[in-house]
Amino acid sequence: MIEKILNKNNLLKKIMKIQKIVLIFIFINKYIYSIITIPFKRIFKDKITQKNIMKVLLYNDLQITIEIGSPPQSFPILIKLQQSPTFIMSTNYTGNIKKFNPNSSSTFISTKKQIEKYQQLHCLDGYYVKDSIIIGNEKLKIDNFEFILANKISTESSILSGEIGLILYAQGIIQNTKFLYQLKSKKIIEKEVFSLEYTKENEGNLIIGDYLHNYNNKKFKEENLLFASVGLPKEITQWSFVIDKVYSDGILIENYTNVKLNYEFGFIDGSKDYYEKVYKKFFGDYLNKNICREVQLNDSLSRYFIECDDMIEYKNFPELIFRNDFLKYNFTFTYKDLFMKYENKYYFLILFKWYIDKWNFGYPFFKKYQIFFDSDKKIFGLYPNKSNSNNWNFSPWILVFVFALLFIITLIILLIFIKYFKQKRKIRANELEDNFEYLPQYD
């Protein structure tokens, strides 16, 4: 009897040990090597009208929400692919936006170190600080997250409470405020990989921490993955990639050009070579007859766009193809990608500049192609043959959790049955002892 009790206790100890191992495994993978999904939506600075439509859509402002401090306060901030720091506006800023008050947080830490002066940064003045933040659908809490508490910013960034920077390369101490860098160094994610997934015209998820085939293997297949190095050789400083050939209407118009990639830009910037080709081939007669017009955008880069009446045969517009030889892939844009109709006019989504001759891919590119970036390996890529048969969005670690839970439930049920049948056998054995009657046998 004692031996049976000891065996039962040993069995229970083994089961409890297995349960602990499973729970530890789940915890490690869920909170150390996790995929983070952060919902975003596009916001507009002004109400769109026919007079201002192109100027409003020039900025592809993607808003996410993070919580900062203890107790947590919610702040709307922007995603910036070509900016480096993460910053939140302080109460010293006079603009009419939500601002962070460090006195209201018990976990706030100030380094009292002023930021350096860098060109082309939206954050113009502030100092380095630390506090707790909460991000994503997973509500992941990150302690001692470093960011800039900003006192002054450029007018371009004055619509929300701050920014997260996803730039490839940052100089000096400002590197410490890079969003992905901190997530990896704090073991929240394993890889500095991220991608925008559009689920609607102006909404979607910023996916952080792993490749898309590990995020959703029903939709994205690892065997379809294509990737290549970013930037120019020996000059990998920003998110861009090399295009070997550019074709319009099947005719080669450019060789070996660098294309800048830009989440925050609402259109595509075109080159002079392409403008000359398009002008002669498609827009020339329309412009001469005033059916189409070149309109100055009056932005900082002196861009201009082409606006047309709705009588144009825009479906005859020639395909624009960007060939990357390393990927062995063509990025193709048709009239469906390059024209937008608003009210009774068509707008061409490729802009031109008088004095800058570089391609710059913004919203139309990222809306059409599911592009991912890997900061560690300095690569970008896509899944060109992705399956649309299933659009579930889930982390693979959910499956681990489900299987572990089923395993634990099965063990508990098994223990209950074992205990039940042992008790039943014991009762049955006692009954047989009490009711057994010995009868003599006769020949």
Residue 410 included in any domain? no
pLDDT band at 155 (very low <50, low <70, confident <90, very high): low
Residue 29 included in any domain? no
Question: What is the pLDDT averaged over residues 202-231?
Answer: 92
Instruction: Mark whether 347 and 287 lie in a shared domain.
Output: yes
Residue 387 included in any domain? no
- Note down the domain range covering 284: 226-382
Q: Vertex 364, ends 363 and 369: CA angle to 5°? A: 100
pLDDT band at 8 (very low <50, low <70, confident <90, very high): low
Residue 283 included in any domain? yes
Residue 25 included in any domain? no
Instruction: Mark whether 280 and 332 lie in a shared domain.
Output: yes
So what's the pLDDT on residue 344?
92
So what's the pLDDT on residue 33?
47
Instruction: Mark whether 163 and 246 lie in a shared domain.
Output: no
Tell me which of 210, 240, 255 is where a domain ends. Answer: 210
So what's the pLDDT on residue 234?
63
pLDDT band at 120 (very low <50, low <70, confident <90, very high): low
How many structural domains comprise the chain? 2
Quick one: tokens of 95?
């603009």
Tokens 């170190």 belong to which residue?
113
In contact, 99 and 161? CB cutoff 8 Å: yes
Instruction: Mark whether 80 and 162 lie in a shared domain.
Output: yes
Instruction: Mark whether 158 and 46 lie in a shared domain.
Output: yes
Instruction: Mark whether 230 and 361 lie in a shared domain.
Output: yes
Residue 73 included in any domain? yes
DSSP at 176: G
Residue 407 included in any domain? no
Instruction: Mark whether 58 and 141 lie in a shared domain.
Output: yes
**Confidence check: pLDDT of 11 > 60:** no
Residue 161's CATH number: 2.40.70.10
Instruction: Mark whether 200 and 308 lie in a shared domain.
Output: no
Model confidence pLDDT, tens digit, residues 34-58: 799 999 999 998 999 999 999 999 9
Output the DSSP codes for 160-171.
Answer: SSEEEE--S---
Q: Judging by beta carbons within 10 Å of its beta carbon (0-12, 13-18, 19+), is residue 300 exposed, middle or buried?
A: exposed
pLDDT band at 377 (very low <50, low <70, confident <90, very high): very high
Instruction: Mark whether 148 and 247 lie in a shared domain.
Output: no
So what's the pLDDT on residue 10?
58
Instruction: Mark whether 141 and 69 lie in a shared domain.
Output: yes
**Residues of the chain above pLDDT 90, percent:** 55
Residue 231 included in any domain? yes
